[in-house]
Amino acid sequence: MSRIIVDVDGLCRSFGGKVALDRVDFRATEGRVYGLVGSNGAGKTTLIRHLLGLLRAESGKVRVFGFDPVRDPVRVLSRIGYLSEDRDMPEWMRIGELMAYTRAFHPGWDEAYANELIGTFGLDLSTRIKELSKGTRAQAGLVAAVAHRPELLILDEPSTGLDPVVRRDILDAIVRAVADDGRTVIFSSHLLEEVERMSDHITMIHDGRVMLSGEIEDVRRHYRRSRVRFADYFEAPPRLDNAFSFEGGGRTWSVIHGGPFDEFRASVVSLGGEVVDSRDATLEEIFLARAGRHEPLEAA
């Protein structure tokens, strides 16, 4: 059995009376990529801050490598690589100075690996951080985060503001490589297509609650989008087994549903209808159906 790297159980957190996390459970094992998805303010970054020990749990348990990150920050943070959405780095430093500064905190720094990434990204070590574009800043921050070969890499919205080429470099060249090396990656994103392509496991968070969590293939296999047609006219969505959301009206509806397909089809037939066509639902369709939202998250 794979070793558990992150273990969150019943985590609750509020800010000024507003619930940010509501009894959140989350686990991550070594060698896998975990995608956290949800709209802005859903609770993804708040969860990450608890993993880094920046926030103390009001109730529930947070363990990283078996330790409480608030009480044992040295044992936890020395084994984590982190890139924040804000790309927080000293503006006055040059890229080379950033690497030297970061290396001083990590005895396991791999100079050859760092130089390989710097060459891949085409970074100029003499350039100051304040002069970097969003994409180059993200690349420099990522090198600093992964060159010490952390056991756990945490990326908070790594693709925000980046062009497709830089996004591909970050995700394909780094995230997958870290996971294939037996390490663990957790990254939050509102780009559902990106998460779907790169993750082994997905956790959907909405209004501070985990509304869906599982292996990507299992999630996709249990949700379908079906187009159904009825002989009778329905002014409101018909009652169908395991249906989460409807589009359309009258005699023809598109339905996002879960559960066994045969049960769903039988409920359609019982109302005098037929399933015209059916396919696996996308992550965006699943999220919208489960969250009850009207504005979609972005596709990459």
Q: What does DSSP assign to residue 173?
A: I
| Band of residue 96 on the pLDDT scale cut at 50, 70, 90 | very high
CA distance 133 to 130: 8
Confidence label for 142 from pLDDT (cuts 50, 70 and 90):
confident
Helix (H) or strand (E) holding 130: none
Tokens 């600093």: give the residue: 144
Which residue is listed with tokens 């010490």? Answer: 148
Q: What is the pTM of this model?
A: 0.85
Percent over 70 (pLDDT), the chain: 92
| Residues 241, 250, 294: CA angle, nearest 5 degrees | 70
Point out which residues pair with 36 in neighbouring strands. 188, 203
Among candidates 40, 74, 28, 11, which has minimal Cα distance to 206? 40
pLDDT in tens, 52-92: 999 999 999 999 999 999 999 999 998 999 988 776 788 89
pLDDT at 289 over 80: yes
Please check the confidence at residue 299 and state whether its pLDDT lies above 60: no
Beta-bridge mates of residue 273: 230
Confirm if 247 and 257 have CB atoms less than 8 A apart.
Answer: no
Helices then strands, each counted (H, E), the chain: 11, 12
Tokens of 114: 């760092």
What is the per-residue pLDDT across 222-250, written as a single tens digit (0 to 9) for each?
899 999 999 999 999 999 999 999 999 99
Q: Which of 1-5, 46-50, 277-281 has the lowest mean pLDDT?
A: 1-5
Report the alpha-carbon distance of residue 216 to residue 157 in Å, rounded.
19
- Give the model confidence (pLDDT) of 178-226 as tens digits: 777 888 999 888 778 878 888 899 999 988 999 889 998 888 888 999 9
DSSP per-residue codes, 22-83: EEEEEEEETT-EEEEE--TTSSHHHHHHHHTTSS--SEEEEEETTB-TTT-HHHHHTTEEEE
Q: Structure tokens of 298?
A: 């972005």
For 11, residues 6+ apart whose C-beta sits below 8 A from its C-beta are: 21, 23, 24, 25, 26, 47, 50, 57, 59, 60, 61, 62
Q: Looking at residue 297, what is its pLDDT?
A: 44
